[in-house]
Amino acid sequence: MHRTLTEHARCLYGDEYRPAPECAAEHRERYFVEELTFADPDAVLAMLRELCPHLVDGHLPVWVRNLAYRLVLLQRPDEPSLMREAAQSLWLHGPDWDGIAADLERRAAELEAR
């Protein structure tokens, strides 16, 4: 069994900075998604920052990054710096999410202006 969300993601997707730990756990994506869904925001952010420290790197699939940021923002809806971090990830991974990225940046600016 994995001790952390980061370890689980590393086993499932790999890590360009560290080797995946040896483990006998069954690696099915749905188990990881279940763990991600109910993880606390600090665990999710730790995973993102350890496995993708420069936003453009890492082996996490883009959809996992998008879901992770969405889940964290639902739990921490009033953090402008986190909104901008999520927006940067969206800007870097294709035009499909440009409108969402722009909205996050707008909302972050509005929160800071208050």
Q: Based on the structure, what is the number of domains in the chain?
A: 1
Helix, strand, coil tally for the chain in percent (to 5): 65, 0, 35
**pLDDT tens figures, 50-69:** 999 888 888 999 999 999 99
Mean predicted lDDT score pLDDT of the chain: 92
- What is residue 40's predicted lDDT score, i.e. its pLDDT? 96
% the chain with pLDDT above 90: 74
**pLDDT tens figures, 69-107:** 999 999 999 999 999 999 999 999 879 999 999 999 999
**Residue-range definition of the domain harbouring residue 99:** 5-113
Q: How confident is the model at residue 8 (pLDDT cuts 50, 70, 90)?
A: very high
Cα(16)–Cα(59) distance, rounded to whole angstroms? 7
